[in-house]
Chain A
Amino acid sequence: MKAASFEYVRPDRLERAIAFLTEHGDEAKVIAGGQSLVPMLAFRLTAPRFLVDIGRISELRRVAIDAGGIRLGALARWRDIERNEELHRAHPLLVEAIRHVAHYQIRNRGTVGGSLAHADPAAEMPGIAITCEAKIVVAGRQGQRVIPAANFFTGPLTTVLQPDELIVEVRLPSWRSGRRWAFEEFARRRGDFALAGIALFYDTENGKACDARVGAVGVADTPVRLPAVEATINGNTITENVICAAGAAAFDSVDPPDDIHAPGDYRRALLQVLTERALSSAAQPGRGDNV
């Protein structure tokens, strides 16, 4: 399983990377941590002429937290997020979701930008991006553009990234204090891709839930928002009935494909269970005290 030949370039500045991609983007693949790309090269599922290593572009590694929200540089690694104490407080949902990504060694190399660009339908980071209405900042020959996560993923392993573009940063809105949240996924083994996963949060006003956001992974060609589930939450106190309704709404929202790991009807039933458990967990006292 040796990769097909490629030429290797390692630009040390963003502009140089973009200049190279502008000229050779059609025949190039960008590599950061390589944890998703290198296996594809090994299986010869892809055989680019050029490999553009952006791993040394230090400006892409920054993590910034301020009143405006959280900005994760494309090269921020799972390890960096996991060890950032401030992030635990500033965005507990992100940190919890990332806990489920892969394994120790992979987490030392895998990056936020890599995960978003790879766009596996079961991956956690795309799911968080969708759920939290993140903005993905992309740079290319025509400068920077800011793409809402909802518009970024177009199919399995497919995004709107053009051959001359690479992800620079992802921006998450700031996390409101007192917010209730949960992340639930089910995978065959620890670190495996989720058979299904759900991220949800809501704020409260006068004891009732509002501004709910619910997103799911592993149940469609891309991560998906579940507005029908959000509708069962908004305006209500979270009772057993509401939890049931939320689960049923999740079930009705998706029509997952069959694959070798699970048939569609199982994933749909699984999503229903995970939704119920997530909402139940979010509604527990103590869950909103993280910020």
Chain B
Amino acid sequence: MSQRQIARFTVNGKAHEAAVEPRTTLADCLRHDLKLTGTHVGCEHGVCGACTVIADGEAVRSCLMFAVQADGMDITTVEGLSEGDQLSPLQASFRKHHAVQCGFCTAGILTTAHVLLTEEPDADADRIREVLSGNICRCTGYVQIIDAVLDARAAYKAKDAR
């Protein structure tokens, strides 16, 4: 076992320091060192997308990054997408469209969709499907998820317009 190193990064606006083995993934660090268990691990080899977080404004697979690589980065997890108990417009749209079943893939899809709509509030169904094809869901068959993301665009356009 190699020496622990200190990884320093911000998560959901709060500064954190974690003493981790270099081989600890960002996903495992978030979940077990920082106790932010909203990000889930589905495959550990970068295919399923359940572990997606936002790092410096970009959606990334946290199982494909080591925590030490995230040093100095600004991370947002699913826990950072809502204010207190209030669902964000994207989250509310998911609820409205029944886009959640078991909930295991949901965090990764929310973070991905949030970045997508922030950058492309006009994304159409094809673009949304293209982007979300990197997030696997076994329960929903995706139809209601796409509907939810489409419906949430209005909120991002309003943000954009301000």
Q: Which residues from chain A sit less than 8 Å from chain B, CB to CB?
A: 1-8, 10, 31, 34-35, 38-39, 41-43, 51, 53, 55, 79, 102-106, 108-109, 189-191
Q: Please name all residues of chain A whose beta carbon is closer than 8 Å to the beta carbon of B65 when the two chains form the complex.
A: 34, 38, 109
Q: Does B140 contact A (CB under 8 A)?
A: no
Going nearest first, the 7 A-B pairs with the smallest beta carbon separation are A103-B134, A8-B22, A39-B45, A108-B58, A1-B44, A3-B23, A38-B64
1/0 contact trace for B60-104 toward A, CB 8 Å? 110111101101000000000000000000000000000000000
Partner among B44, B64, B66, B131 whose Cβ is within 8 Å of the Cβ of A104: B131
Give the interface size class of chain B: 20 to 34
Determine the residue in chain B with the shortest Cβ distance to A1.
Answer: B44
Contact present for B64 and A34 (CB under 8 Å): yes
Name 8 interchain pairs, CB-CB below 8 A, sorted by A. A1-B44, A5-B21, A6-B2, A8-B66, A8-B68, A42-B63, A55-B69, A189-B133
Known contacts A2-B23, A190-B130: A109-B45 contact under CB 8 Å = no
Are A108 and B2 neighbours in the complex by a CB distance under 8 Å? no
Is B152's beta carbon under 8 Å from chain A? no
Residues of B within 8 A of A1 (CB): 44-45
- Tell me if A43 and B21 are in contact (CB < 8 A): no
Q: What residue in chain A is nearest B130 (Cβ atoms)?
A: A190
B133 near A191: Cβ-Cβ < 8 Å: yes
Minimum CB–CB distance for B102 against chain A, Å: 21
**A35: nearest chain-B partner, CB-CB:** B64
**Main DSSP-derived SS at the A contact region:** loop
B→A interface (CB under 8 Å): 1-3, 5, 21-23, 25, 44-46, 49, 52, 58-61, 63-66, 68-69, 71, 112, 116, 130-131, 133-134
A106 and B2 in contact, given A42-B45, A190-B130 (Cβ under 8 angstroms): no
Point out the residues of chain A lying under 8 angstroms from B46, CB to CB: 35, 38-39, 106
Q: Which residues of B contact A38 (CB under 8 A)?
A: 25, 45-46, 63-66
**Once bound together, how far apart are the Cα atoms of A34 and B61, in whole Å?**
10
A153–B137 Cα distance when bound, in Å, is 37
Q: Shortest beta-carbon distance, A260 to chain B, in Å? A: 16
Q: How far is the CA of A104 from the CA of B23 in the complex (A)?
A: 24
Contact (Cβ within 8 A) B69 A5: no
Bound form: Cα–Cα A1–B48 in Å = 15
B41 to chain A, nearest CB (A): 10
On whether the beta carbons of A104 and B69 are closer than 8 Å, the reply is no
Cβ of B45 and Cβ of A106 under 8 Å apart? Answer: no
Report chain A residues within 8 Å CB of B131: 103-104
Known: A8-B5, A104-B112, A105-B59. 18 other contacts (CB 8 A): A5-B22, A5-B23, A7-B22, A8-B2, A31-B69, A35-B46, A35-B61, A38-B46, A38-B64, A39-B45, A39-B64, A79-B58, A103-B133, A103-B134, A104-B130, A105-B52, A105-B60, A190-B130
A109 neighbours in B (Cβ, 8 Å): 60-61, 64-65
Shortest distance between the CB of A279 and any CB in chain B (Å): 26
